[in-house]
Amino acid sequence: MPVIHKSTIKRARQSVTRHLRNKAALSSMRNVVKKVMGAVEEKNADEAKALLRDATASLHKAVTKGLIKPNTASRRISRLSAKVNALSAART
């Protein structure tokens, strides 16, 4: 019979809580990015620019919470920005 400490039980509880919080935050971040991609696919430049600001904020927020690494966020922001900029450049 293994010895189970009180601290081990508490850590397990905390792990479940944090997992749910992180999962929700990552999901909302992904949804914001998907909205930007949807606007780009529909060739809606004005909406894409507005949504890009939300996506950038969401990605930076995920970095501060430790959900994704800073370079990952920078890479995703860069790629999204390039797509939005290409869309507005093609329009004019």
Nearest CA to 86 out of 32, 31, 29, 41 is that of: 41
Q: What is the pLDDT of residues 66-87, one digit of tens each?
A: 999 999 999 999 999 999 999 8
| Tokens read off for 25 | 């935050």
Q: What is the pLDDT of residues 11-47, one digit of tens each?
A: 999 999 999 999 999 999 999 999 999 999 999 999 9
Domains of the chain, each with CATH number or no CATH: 6-91 (1.20.58.110)
CA gap 79, 56 in Å, rounded: 11
Nearest CA to 32 out of 91, 88, 80 is that of: 80
pLDDT at 10 over 80: yes
Let me know if 7 is exposed, middle or buried by CB neighbors in 10 A (0-12, 13-18, 19+): exposed
pLDDT at 91 over 90: no
What pLDDT score was predicted for residue 1? 62
| Cβ 80 vs Cβ 55: under 8 Å | yes
What pLDDT score was predicted for residue 88? 80
What pLDDT score was predicted for residue 89? 82
